[in-house]
Amino acid sequence: MNISAKKPARDVPSAAKWDDLRIFLEVARQGSVHAAARQLRLDHSTVCRRIGRLEALLAIKLLDRNSKGVFVRPEAQGLLQHIEQMDQHASSLDEMIVGGGSKVVRIATMEGIASGYIARCLPTLARIEPDMKVELVSNPQVVDLNRKQADVFLSFFNPATRGLRSIMVGSFSLFLYCSKDYLRRNGRPRNRSDLVKHTFVGYIEPPRVLRRRFGFSHAAMAGSSIMA
């Protein structure tokens, strides 16, 4: 397989294992050793050890750390680009072997968007593209498109991942809701400061804008599912 890429800081030695290169690639994509370890389902110590082994083999330091996380050193950027192209070619080969040319599109998004919106649109899409099969994946976590976990990822934020193009397709509003019975028992809040006295139900990790504006100081229940 021939790969055209910018020449790395130094050529990848034949002794460098693909698994170690893939771990370095994942750390670069995630910007965090812990996040990469979760994505790869490895121990944090294993990721650190494998990166250290790769650095020793290449005789260069690959990563540095700052207040925002882990980043790839300038002298290792060429190597990273080389590995990214290797990964893209490997993924394309997998698609060609497994896919067999079928039109399958996997869409990943949060549970509420998947069940409450996209699923309702699929009959229309089926009429427009009758040969297309859609796989709708409900996932509260960031989905790695570079590793072909999905073809499209619809989220409330820009993942800002290397090698991906993100576009804004719409906007939405957030509101607070309660039952009539709750109002009878607790009264209607007149301003934001009144919300401190009220009880909330929401996400385990609520959106930043809600934390900043409303606080959620008394959460009776928090979950990862909008349906729950």
Has residue 208 been placed in a domain?
yes
Q: Comparing 7 with 216, which gets the higher pLDDT?
A: 216
Has residue 164 been placed in a domain?
no
Q: How far is CA 162 from CA 29, 32, 58, 151, 203, in A?
A: 6, 14, 23, 15, 28
Has residue 165 been placed in a domain?
no
Assign 101 to helix, strand or coil: coil
Has residue 34 been placed in a domain?
yes
The pLDDT of residue 183 is 93
| Mean per-residue pLDDT over the chain, rounded | 78
**Does 145 lie in the same domain as 107?**
yes
> Rounded to whole angstroms, how far apart are CA atoms 118 and 113?
6
β-pair partners for 51: none
**Does 92 lie in the same domain as 26?**
yes
Provide the domain count of the chain.
3
pLDDT at 210 over 70: no
Mind listing the pLDDT tens digit for each residue in 69-118?
Answer: 888 899 888 888 888 877 776 665 555 555 555 578 888 888 888 888 88
pLDDT at 8 over 50: no
Which are the contacts of 40, defined by CB distance < 8 A and separation ≥ 6?
22, 23, 26, 47
**Does 54 lie in the same domain as 86?**
yes
Altogether, the residues listed in the chain come to a count of: 228
- Backbone φ and ψ of 144, nearest 5°: -90, 100
Has residue 53 been placed in a domain?
yes
- Residue-range definition of the domain harbouring residue 34: 18-97
pLDDT at 149 over 70: yes
Tell me the pLDDT band of 9, cut-offs 50, 70 and 90.
very low
pLDDT at 180 over 90: yes
The pLDDT of residue 84 is 80
The pLDDT of residue 6 is 34
- Backbone φ and ψ of 52, nearest 5°: -60, -40
For 183, the token pair is 């109002």
